[in-house]
Amino acid sequence: MSANLSSSGSSDLQVQASSEALLSGSTAPVRRNWAQYLRWLLLFAGGILMVMPLAYMMSTSFKFPFEVYNLNLVPEEPTLENYTYVLEDGRFLQWFFNSLIVATLTTVSSVFFDALVGYTLCKYRFPGRYVVFIAILSTLMIPTEMLVIPWYLMSQQFGWLDTTWGIMFPGLMTAFGVFLMKQFFETVPDDFIEAARIDGLNELQIWWTVAMPLVKPALAALAIFVFLGNWTAFIWPLIVTTSQDMYTLPVGLTTFSVEQAVEWELVMTGAAISVLPTLIVFLVFQRFIIRGVVMAGLKG
């Protein structure tokens, strides 16, 4: 009898606790224990580890050269001189613009073609479908460093060296994007496609008007991945470009390093400015990127 009483008492407590949690708008349990504080501590440490380089980058960009090797986060004599110098240097804006063109065009192209190929591999049954998919996936296992030589030879033969097209062409379609999109199109029920087919749409219209809007989160996530990847790409743009006019931002920033020393305050200022677009893109689309990563079953 007493056991009954105590069990009903504890369930009352649970009900009360969960209703409190609901009222406060949180689904987390009300009672917190040391394990939870430990988790917070670890997360906090991780956060610090992530934020510190960014904080130092920002801080250094406001410092004079003499203070660069001082590890204080707040500059003793903050200055905007670095920004004025970098922005007045026409080369920087040119590199910024080059990067923007390359990253934007590759993103548009990659999202378009990856979605097209992913959809085809997902929704159509044709001989060799599986082989094609495996072949595309297997290219993911080849590192960029191995590919740059064939890319370079190809660019040389086609006359693409030191051109925007030359920088862009390897990124116009990505195996990762095809994989991501194929996985996402699996979530689009076949009934949607068949219903549209009965309603008289052709296959391309079905892809564009029915399937694509249903995978918007994946498209947004892919767009961010591709944009970030191309915005920060270094090795290939470094190899394929020879004139300073064609440099992308990451390549251009290295020119702030002279033979004797690296002008860190300028490099950091350039980096700080170059982070802005990615930060904006990320803040706008972050809810999509998180859903995209979760749904693709990948660990970010």
Which residues contact another protein by CB under 8 A?
A: 189, 191-192, 194-201, 210, 213-214, 216
Please state the closest distance from residue 186 (CB atom) to another protein, in A.
15
Contact (Cβ atoms closer than 8 angstroms) between residue 246 and residue 167: yes
Q: Which is nearer to another protein, 172 or 210 (CB)?
A: 210
Residue 297: which region, alpha, beta or left (left: phi > 0; alpha: psi -120 to 50)? left
**Which among 59, 100, 51 has a CA at the least distance from the CA of 82?**
59
Q: How far apart are CA 64 and CA 85, in angstroms?
A: 12
Q: Shortest distance, CB of residue 198 to another protein, whole angstroms?
A: 4
Which residue(s) pair with 213 in the sheet? none
- Measured from the CB atom, the residue of 199 and 245 that comes closer to another protein is 199
C-beta of 188 vs 226, nearer to another protein: 188
* 3-class secondary structure per residue, the chain: CHHHHHHHHHHHHHHHHHHHHHHCCCCCCCCCCHHHHHHHHHHHHHHHHHHHHHHHHHHHHCCCHHHCCCCCCCCCCCCCHHHHHHHHCHHHHHHHHHHHHHHHHHHHHHHHHHHHHHHHHHHCCCCCHHHHHHHHHHHHHCCHHHHHHHHHHHHHHHCCCCCHHHHHHHHCCCHHHHHHHHHHHCCCCHHHHHHHHHCCCCHHHHHHHHHHHHCHHHHHHHHHHHHHHHHCCCHHHHHHCCCHHHCCHHHHHHHHECCCCECHHHHHHHHHHHHHHHHHHHHHHHHHHHHHHHHCCCCC
Q: Which is nearer to another protein, 193 or 272 (CB)?
A: 193
Measured from the CB atom, the residue of 68 and 214 that comes closer to another protein is 214
CB of 174 to another protein, least distance (A): 25
Quick count: other Cβ atoms within 10 Å of Cβ 222? 28
Least distance (Å) between residue 258 CB and another protein: 54
Judged by beta carbon, residue 88 or residue 190, the one nearer another protein is: 190
* Minimum separation from the CB atom of position 191 to another protein (A): 4
Select 194 or 245, whichever has its Cβ closest to another protein. 194
In the complex, what is the shortest distance from the CB of residue 176 to another protein, in angstroms, rounded to a whole number?
25
Nearest-approach distance from CB 189 to another protein, in angstroms: 6
State the minimum distance, in angstroms, from the CB of residue 210 to another protein. 6
By beta-carbon proximity to another protein, the closer residue of 198 and 258 is: 198
